[in-house]
Amino acid sequence: MEVQITNRQSVIQIVRAASSDIISTLGGDTFGFALGLMLLHTTHSALSFGLGSIIYPIVGLLLMIPVGNLIDRGHHKPLILTSKALDIGAYIVYALLADRVANQMLLAILVLTFIACCDKVTNTGFTASIHELVNDNHIKTLATIEQAATAGIQLISPVLAAALYGMIGFDGIVRVEIAAEISVWLITLSMRFHPLKAAETKEVSAATPADQTSQSDQPRQSGAVKSATQPAQTQWQLFKVGLRYIWNRFTLRSVVIMGVFLNFLFSSVDVGLPYAIVQTRHMSNTSLSVVMSGFAAGILVGNLVLSMLPTFKRVLLTILRLSMVVGGAIFALGMLFMSTLPDTQLVLILVIWALLVGLTLAFVNTPMSVYMQMTVPTELLGRVGSTFGTLMQLAVPVGTAFYSIFFQHVSAGPVYAMTGIVVLVYIGVNLLIVQQKLAAGKQIDD
């Protein structure tokens, strides 16, 4: 019998989860920004700030099947604690080798790859554990508070990273990150996970309609009986259940397909903005950090507003309309970089631009996260979450590599203008298709 999580317990878990996210994001973002600065000044490559954007999606793709299956079949808390412990070990090794290795780019790639493997297990584990931490009434609260807390830290982390980079250097920032990760591990250890029923007992919920018909007479069959009458499933067979669940849901399938395409194009902002500000316009690290903080400020404000709004009913339609705003913003960014504004005015406008884009992204990401938690069966959240997140990031390495080369040969203005036009056309076509479905009386949010 499943343990009922009280409202009081849910509130306590929310506080601990938010604290963990704050410390983890503060340390991780500070380290990532400082690493990008160090590599940018050392190698003068646009790829410096896009290194993580390449490594994390590749690692996510390679580990998508085994990690999703591992999380759905294993106990979440021990898996999360183990992955965080290995994460801490990786930072310690990096601190010992940072001053002893000549090829800083190669060392960063190796360390980030290992950390990405640990983070894949940790993030997938937490995604699948939401129902073990809070009750259904607090799922939206947890999602919005975590997003808001994370955005609040992201607001100050670029400025903090730039300041610490000048005060204690990159080596000092690595040590700060080690301390932050240890704190997160201890907070996770204090969190209480309420185990749910084993995944085997509910696999039927993700079956196709035909499968559901054939198994409808035995919906509560125990895992022991099932394992005794059926052969052990392979990693691919287990993973395919989650993949099939996404494919059979129009909203999830549409968001994944659009996400792959849009994340490729949005790589132009992740890679090109730091390169255009620091290398092309020769502005200071502080200017870059202030602009990057604008994204987090927008996400923070957006999540605070979302916490007071009811849950969106037509998630896909909302995402499409907001994506049109993002496309227009990228096009406007191109026009901005083609102007001859002085640096002070340019930074001010870029901060406002980043604020608006961050606000828009909050209204895209958080409702989708809540939608998944409320509609995907708990026993499938590991596989669906792992698959969903990996596929959404699948195009990022290609986009990062593409735009890294592009920005070193073409000025930022035309690149952003063309990218914005492509986003507007693509999203406009998809928005028209969805509106036609709605006009025909079809349900889109399944």
> What local confidence, expressed as pLDDT, does residue 231 receive?
45
More confident call, 345 vs 274: 345
The residue type found at 369 is S
422: pLDDT strictly greater than 50: yes
328: pLDDT strictly greater than 80: yes
Q: Give me the mean pLDDT over the 360-368 stretch.
A: 80
- In sequence order, the 6+-apart residues with CB closer than 8 A to the CB of 188 are 20, 77, 80, 81, 84
Q: Which of 133-142, 181-190, 195-204 has the lowest mean pLDDT?
A: 195-204
Residue 344, judged by CB atoms within 10 A of its CB (0-12, 13-18, 19+), counts as: exposed
Q: What is the pLDDT of residues 379-393, one digit of tens each?
A: 777 778 777 777 777
Tell me the DSSP string of 55-122: HHHHHHHHHHHHHHHHHHHS-HHHHHHHHHHHHHHHHHHHHHHTTT-S-HHHHHHHHHHHHHHHHHHH
Helices (H), 168-249: 169-190, 209-215, 223-229, 235-247
Q: Give me the mean pLDDT over the 46-70 stretch.
A: 77
Contact 66, 57 (CB under 8 A): no
319: pLDDT strictly greater than 90: no
Quick one: tokens of 111?
A: 């360390």
Q: Which of 255-259, 294-298, 386-390 has the lowest mean pLDDT?
A: 386-390
1: pLDDT strictly greater than 50: no
The residue type found at 248 is N
The 3-state secondary structure of 312-360 reads CCCHHHHHHHHHHHHHHHHHHHHHHHCCCCCHHHHHHHHHHHHHHHHHH
The CATH number of the domain covering residues in 7-195+242-439: 1.20.1250.20
192: pLDDT strictly greater than 60: yes
> What local confidence, expressed as pLDDT, does residue 179 receive?
93
> What local confidence, expressed as pLDDT, does residue 9 receive?
80
Share of the chain above pLDDT 70, in %: 85
Most confident of 91-95, 149-153, 165-169, 277-281: 91-95
Closest CA to 111 of 137, 136, 135, 90: 90
d(CA 380, CA 142): 20
258 pLDDT band, cuts 50/70/90, is confident
pTM: predicted TM-score of the whole model, two decimal places: 0.60
Most confident of 193-207, 314-328, 361-375: 314-328
d(CA 51, CA 57): 11
> What local confidence, expressed as pLDDT, does residue 215 receive?
35
227: pLDDT strictly greater than 50: no
> What local confidence, expressed as pLDDT, does residue 352 receive?
93
Average pLDDT taken over every residue of the chain: 78
The alpha carbon of 61 is separated from its chain's Cα centroid by a whole number of angstroms, namely 14
> What local confidence, expressed as pLDDT, does residue 50 receive?
67
> What local confidence, expressed as pLDDT, does residue 344 receive?
87
299: pLDDT strictly greater than 70: yes
